[in-house]
Each structure stands twice: as C-alpha cells, then as structure tokens.
Amino acid sequence: MQGWLTMTAADLGRGIAAGEIDPVALTQCYLDAIEAHPHRDRIYSAVTAERALAAAGAAAERARLGLRRSALDGVPISWKDLFDSAGTATESGSDLLKGRIPDRDAQVLETATALGAVCLGKTHMSELAFSGLGLNPVKATPPCVNDEGAAPGGSSSGAGASVAFGLAACGIGSDTGGSVRIPSAWNDLVGLKTTSGRISLEGVVPLCLKFDTVGPLCRSVEDAGLALGLLEGNAGPDLRNPAPLKGRRFADLQTIAQEDLDPEVTEAYGEALEKLRAAGAEVVPLEVPELVEAMNLSPVLFTTEAYGLWRDVIEASPEVMYPEILARFRSGAEHSGADYVAGWAKLEQCRLAWDQAAAGFDGVLSPTCPILPPEVERLEKEEGYYVRANLLALRNTRIGNLMGLCALSLPTGRPSCGLQILGQPDCEELLLRVGISVEAALV
C-alpha cells in the first residue's frame, strides 16, 4: 500500500477502475501517512478525515457498480487554505481570518467532489497568498522536499509539499503571480496555471481578482489534465497518443527571463533545451521588449488591487500580520485610481505586442524560477534578502499572469529547477498536449 503514495493520480484512478485499488483503503493509507508524518502540521492546516472516508466509501460503491464519475473518482486530493470548505476553517494563511468557517464549499471543490475527488483537507499557504516564497511565520511554513531548511515556494506551499512528500495524490492551489508554478518547480512537480477567468473563483478567498487563477500541482502532465477536468466538471483533455516533438517550434524567451539566474538554474535550463532539440524540436531566441514596461507595471496593478480588496480588514488588525506581507499590501496605497486605470490600458497594449511576438510558436520557454529555494532562517532575519528573493522568485512566472496566458511548469530532472512553457490564453488543452511531449523528452 505504501507504493500508492508515490503513484500518479492517473495511475491510482486506473487501479480503482480495474478493481485493484479500494478507494477506502487508499484514502486511509493517505490519512495514516499524514498522521504519521513529522511535518504534518507544517503542511496541512486541517485534515478532514471523516469527509474523506465518506467520499471514499461512496467512490468504492460506484466503482463496484461500474458507475465511476471521472478518471479520478476515489483519488485523494489536498486543497489550499483559500478554498471554502463547508464546516472547516478557511483562513487563507492569515490570523485576519482566524476562525472563519464557511457554510458551503467553493464552486471548484463542489464540482470536483461531484466527480468523485476525495478531499483530504486544507494545506498551509503564504499569508493571503501574497508571496512567492511560501514563508509564513504566522501559521506555518511547509518544508521544501529537496531541502527542509529552505522555502517551499508559494503561495501554494502546502499544496506542493503535500504531493512532494506523498501526502496527497494531487494538490489544488491558486496562481496570481506564480503561486502554483513556483512550489511546483522547487518541489519537482508539474504545475498548471490556468487562464484568468476560465475556472470559477466563487468561494475562493481573493488576492487580485483580475489575476487570480486556480490550478493543480501534481506528479505528471496527465494528472494536470485530469485535475483540470475535475475543476471544470468534465473529463479533461485527451492526452493519449501525444505528438512527437519533431517539427514543434519553441521560443527561448530572452527578455528579462534569463537575468540573474542561479548557476544551477542556468545549467538545468540549457540541458532542457538541448533535450528538446535532440527530440527534433526547433528552439529559437525571442525578444519581447514590451515585457519590460509590463513588468514595471506590476506594483501598480497587483498591490493596488490587493490593498483595495483587503484595506479595511488589514487596517482593523494590522498587528496580527507578518510585517513583510503587511508592508507589501500597504504599498498599494501609493498608487492612485488614475495610475491603476492607466496601468491596465498600458498592459493591454503590451499583451497585443506579446500575442504578435508569440504567434507561430508551440510555446514560449523560460526557467520557471530564476533562483533555487532560499534559506528560511535567513529570510526571517534579513529584510533585504526576503524582498529580493520574493521578487526574483516571482519574476518569470509573473510574465504569464501579466500577459494573461496559461502556463505549465515541468521538472527538468535537476532538483528545484523547473522549465516553464507559456501558452496562449484559453489554450490549456493545446499546452497540455505539448507539455506531455516535452515531459517525455526531459526524462
């Protein structure tokens, strides 16, 4: 049974369908692993054992009758602590929301449950989802699978750790500036950022509504596709019989994305590109000068909306917040409404330029994250180190959010080094089909 903890969600689903895996036994195996794990309380904010076993029992009966509702019916999944779950605390990693217990599930949790997904519980995260590092001294900081003294990546930190440490078959997180892809990269997972507006945010604690997205962190591209189906209430894209990479054309993004890389990241990225070329893909350099202006708009667009949404709640009890997160929120007060409107107008022009530059490519490539996971102890002690690490961690992933794209992070084979593939808006199915071929080439 212990082998179940490292299987892909898709393989677990196939085992259930074949009658080889009992969903109740599978769920109990995960619950036992969670309970016995030394970092249980650093990864999970709440474990919903009763709910999980009830859902698993229903899944087992459906499997017996040949009435399974999806490929992941009966598969145990974790949920970031910003998805409302009926009767279970949902605090978005912040004492500002301490004791907040919703009376109904978020729409995506409700949809996934209807398709048979088993909810194991809620996972820790960066406070109010406003950091790419995963450091949260207020609640808990999950460990990184490659270095337990390093940051796990955020804000979906517990979601990534739950999968990486074998405590969930898949984790559902959110991505506003990189919060699915950074923990995926640093924990050697696959992470899918969906297009803004594609998946319901009803019942999801917001950060920046114009950028917030929902997506999975998992063990394979196939899992990501099936999880996308769970979130949307369908079977997900058909990823069988992936097309070979020969003839595929990729852009190697030069603008911004390859500055200040850690040496290990540079080497991992170079090796990944060589593997793609060896598989027959064409990889050509791409410059998009407008990205510079778009990135410079980030403080206006992200912090202004975040502080606008949270100002009254924050200023009622600012003392309960981690100071670095509080300062980041408050920086949103520095910009006027006119700055925000003008910023969005400029961003739309930058998006048009991106669309023209990226047309004709099967994907735009970059390192997922420029840096390796930084030391938690140093982050907590040195303000300058924290600020620089947070900005660098989010830099490459934020390109996808600013440009309104879907994006995928894949492990390169080097610890904590991910390869990012940027796709076109609302083209997740195509991105995943490309991604499964890239995944095979990177092995």
- Give strand pairing partners of 83: 204
Active-site residue, 210 included: no
Instruction: State how far the Cα of 39 lies from the Cα of 158, in Å rounded to an integer.
Output: 10
CA gap 421, 121 in Å, rounded: 30
Cβ atoms 325, 313 nearer than 8 A: no
> What span, in angstroms and rounded, lies between the C-alpha atoms of 28 and 7?
15
> What CA–CA distance (Å, rounded) separates 202 from 93?
18
What's the rounded Cα separation, in Å, for the pair 126 and 60? 35
Q: Closest Cα partner for 418 from 388, 438, 402, 401?
A: 438
Compute CA 130 distance to the chain's CA centroid, rounded to the nearest angstrom: 13
Distance between terminal CA atoms of the chain? 26
Per the annotation, the verdict on 80 as an active-site residue is yes
User: How far apart are the C-alpha atoms of 184 and 332, rounded to whole Å?
Assistant: 28
Q: Which of 155, 162, 184, 416 is catalytic?
A: 155
Q: How far apart are CA 199 and CA 22, in angstroms?
A: 30
Q: Which of 80, 122, 139, 275 is catalytic?
A: 80
Single-letter residue type at 134: G
155 is annotated as an active-site residue: yes
Buried b (16+ CB within 10 A) or exposed e, 157-194: bbbbbbbbbbbbbbbbbbbbbbbbbbbbbbbbbbbbbb
Cα 272 from Cα 257, distance rounded (Å): 15
Q: Which of the residues 92, 174, 179, 437 is marked catalytic?
A: 179
Catalytic residue list: 80, 155, 179
